[in-house]
A and B are shown apart, each in its own frame.
Chain A
Amino acid sequence: MPALTYLEAIRQGIWEEMERDPTVFCIGEDIGIYGGAFKVTDGFIDHFGPERVIDTPIAESAIVGAAFGASLTGMRPVAEFQFMDFIGCAFNQITNMVAKAHYRWGAPAPLVIRGPSGGNVHGGPFHSQNPEMYFVHTPGLKVVCPATAYDAKGLIKAAIRDNNPVIFFEHKYLYRRIKEDVPEEDFLVPLGRARLAREGQDLSIITYAAMVHVAMEAAELLTKEGLELEVLDLRTLSPIDREAIANTVRKTNKVMVLHEDVRTGGIAGEISAIINEEAFDSLDGPIVRLAALDTPVPFSPPQEEYFLPKVVDVVREARKLAAY
């Protein structure tokens, strides 16, 4: 089993799906000869040909619109956004044209919109955002945010095979920083199911994407203090795994929700409501919310570090919650 980076895993997943299914094709900016800004589709144009690896003008609404149109003819487009920060340019196509199609007129839209999101790479306000919640709030879309190479491959393959529009947020900080053994054979990770990244009985951290690794690091540190943290990696934000959330709360009775997205309107609020509905009686303390500041993502490294939740923040808040 070869060790793959998070990026290679995504790349391999798309590659395998394109080899398996002739209706899968890629469309986006600079994805052809250049191979994409992050090289996710590097070499694809040589292998699959320019018919199936389509470079577009800088026109995000046209990319999504064209992907949707092609999907109406039974194709399965994989549309790349160079940065997920630019998804606002196609907001209307995604939320009004694509997301509502099945409900309104019974048109399935089996397309994937994928691209890099997230900070900690000093990309500044327009190359670091986490815009996932706009789409979690839109019925008709699925939203996926993988944290590991294994999941990234299994989830991108599942997203491509799904009959619904899937917004696939890759975390650019993880692209080349994490590596793990990923099976070469065909496997899928089902959308809508969370993963227990670490078992523990004292306190649960519910999180996703790059923050999973922050939570894991904090959990290792706290072991020395005799605290065993459970870490639940959501993997998919929509549909969200209510059962896994309720189960971990019932087990540890104390919850911290951690995300890189800004605090207000982040998924932590929704998860708190789910816990309230599903497992209120199991709570032995307040639900703690740890998230980025309610500001745009700042550029300068000391500012960005201050903006993002860190291991020390998780450790501090976990100690407080454990002692509650």
Chain B
Amino acid sequence: MPKKKQPTLRRANTNRTHSRTPQEDSKSARQQRTYTLADYRLEKPSFELRQVRVGDTVRYEVSGNLSGPAPPIRDSKYLRKQQCIEIYRWMLLNRKMEAALENLYKQGKVVGGVYFGLGQAACSCASAYALRPDEWLGPLIRNQGSLLVRGFSASDILMQYMAKAGSPTNGRDASSHFGDIQNRNVVAPISTLGDLIPVLAGVALGARLQGRNIAVMTYIGDGGQSTGVTYEGLNFAAVQNLGLVLFVENNLWGYSTPADMQFCVKDLAERAIAYGIPGIIVDGTDPCQVYDAAHEACQRARRGEGPTLIEAKMMRMKGHAIHDAAEYVPKALFEYWKKRDPIARFEDYLVRQKKWLTNQENEKLIGAVESELEVQREIAVASPMPAPESAAGGAYCETPCHEIRPKYAMPKCRIKKSLSLKQKETAVHLK
């Protein structure tokens, strides 16, 4: 792609008596605009979905090369052995927690729907792993692995689905719809998509006003990125040069609608070009690629260089929620992505390729995750349902329920004391 020379806005800086404004700080970032997309993948899937009429019915058909072998895991530039094993453990816990959830659902112990991140554990866990404890994350419905990495327990998630009194929202909301502004720095998502993007940008803005450049991370899907607020939020972060790391999880399906019916670009990472920010493509089933891209984006954020868009390509390996058998998905696609299962491939990488885990150590690790989960499951099952009257109250923060104070530091104010509040009579819109 040819690099276009961008006209730069020149600002008069003679007689500069003030410090640099955020606008001036972002100027250098603007000049580093990227028109190429980094692509960390070792395999570039090539297939196409179409709506076709077969007899009396219309359905999706896939065409292209679906027979290739699964790609290897790409060696990380940053992760050491122990960190890889930790991420692998989070991925195992993510999957086994969801399996436990499915069983609880079948036993009639879950209220409402269940959302799975099957096929997406590498993206959830390895991305969140790149954040520091004092940085922030806003998960989507399938990022239950991210919540575990941020320090919530499996029982927290199980209790959310079971609408228990002990759940983080005390039964008031479901699924991954919970957060923590005190310790884990997680913003609770809402059901509509894209809305977390400006919110996480605002978290970075708040931190910057308190003197800190932090990384803030959130996610959007191939379906969710169609919303207007996605544009508003990411554009705002770009203009304000805020440290947002946006994972665009392209899992090929927005409920039952294929990605091909959500957008026209070849890769969603191309969107980054239009925002004037770096865009990266990773294989979302490869935790090392996910981590490396996330880590580099977080480092950029911490240096005050603004947002990064990372497209992670993978497939949602279940229906939209547990009620949805995903019969609209061509079988060949499931088979193709099943061979690219993130956990099986990472296990193979750690045990057989790198030999960082012996078979015995691996079995021990799996056993430890399973027994931890059993304990968590019991805690969740034992938690009572909330008292009916606990539905009332709490819509407002009434003193002294929360003390509002700056999270990082009291902002340093540079007030020009010489100026007073003097009203000028000026032309105004609609007198």
A residues touching B (Cβ–Cβ < 8 Å)? 8, 11-12, 15, 19, 22-23, 25, 35, 37-39, 42-43, 46-52, 54, 56-57, 59-77, 92-93, 96-97, 100-110, 121-123, 127, 139-140, 142, 163-164, 172, 175-176
Contacts and interface: CB of A to CB of B under 8 A. Distances in A.
Contact of B229 (A65, A76, A107, A176): A65
Contact of A70 (B178, B205, B394): B205
B428 A51 contact: no
B400 to A, nearest CB: 10
Contact of A43 (B21, B168, B398, B419): B419
Contacts of B395: 102-103, 139-140
A8 to B, nearest CB: 5
A70 B200 CA distance: 8
Nearest to B417: A47
A100 B415 contact: no
Contacts of A97: 190, 195, 199
A11 B431 contact: no
Contacts of A15: 421
Given A11-B421, A39-B426, A70-B209, A105 B178 contact: yes
Interface in B395-422: 395-399, 401-402, 404-408, 410-416, 419, 421-422
Interface-centre pick from A50, A66, A101, A108 (highest chain B CB count, 10 A):
A66
Nearest to A69: B202
Contact of A163 (B228, B402, B424): B402
Prevailing SS type, chain B contact patch: loop
A38 to B, nearest CB: 5
Contacts of B239: 56-57
B188 A43 contact: no
A69 B422 contact: no
A68 to B, nearest CB: 5
Contacts of B287: none
A69 B200 contact: yes
A59 B236 contact: yes
A22 B188 contact: no
Contacts of B401: 108, 163
A66 B397 contact: no
B430 A123 contact: yes
B228 to A, nearest CB: 7
A108 B188 contact: no
Contacts of A175: 428
B424 A42 contact: yes
Given A23-B410, A56-B236, A163-B402, A61 B195 contact: yes
Place the interface of chain B in its size category: 35 or more
B199 A8 contact: no
29 contacts: A37-B429, A38-B428, A38-B429, A39-B424, A42-B423, A47-B416, A48-B413, A51-B414, A56-B239, A57-B232, A59-B198, A62-B201, A67-B202, A69-B199, A69-B202, A70-B206, A73-B206, A74-B406, A75-B209, A75-B411, A92-B229, A96-B190, A104-B178, A108-B401, A110-B397, A163-B398, A163-B401, A172-B430, A176-B428
Given A66-B198, A121-B431, A61 B404 contact: no
Contacts of B423: 8, 11, 39, 42
A121 B199 CA distance: 35
Given A65-B232, A108-B397, 4 more contacts: A8-B423, A39-B428, A52-B413, A104-B178
Interface string B188-214: 101110010111111111110110000
Interface-centre pick from A39, A61, A77 (highest chain B CB count, 10 A):
A61
Contacts of B430: 121-123, 127, 172
B419 A46 contact: yes
A251 B396 CA distance: 32
Contact of B169 (A8, A49, A71, A104): A104
Interface of B: 18, 21-23, 168-169, 172-173, 177-181, 187-188, 190-192, 195, 197-207, 209-210, 228-229, 232-233, 235-236, 239-240, 394-399, 401-402, 404-408, 410-416, 419, 421-424, 426, 428-431
Given A65-B229, A103-B172, A50 B21 contact: yes
A170 to B, nearest CB: 13
A243 B138 CA distance: 42
A23 B198 contact: no
Contact of B406 (A62, A68, A73): A73
Nearest to A16: B421
Nearest to A74: B406
A11 B428 CA distance: 15
B198 A108 contact: no
Contacts of B203: 69-70, 72-73
A62 B195 CA distance: 9
Nearest to B210: A73
A52 B405 CA distance: 17
B431 to A, nearest CB: 7
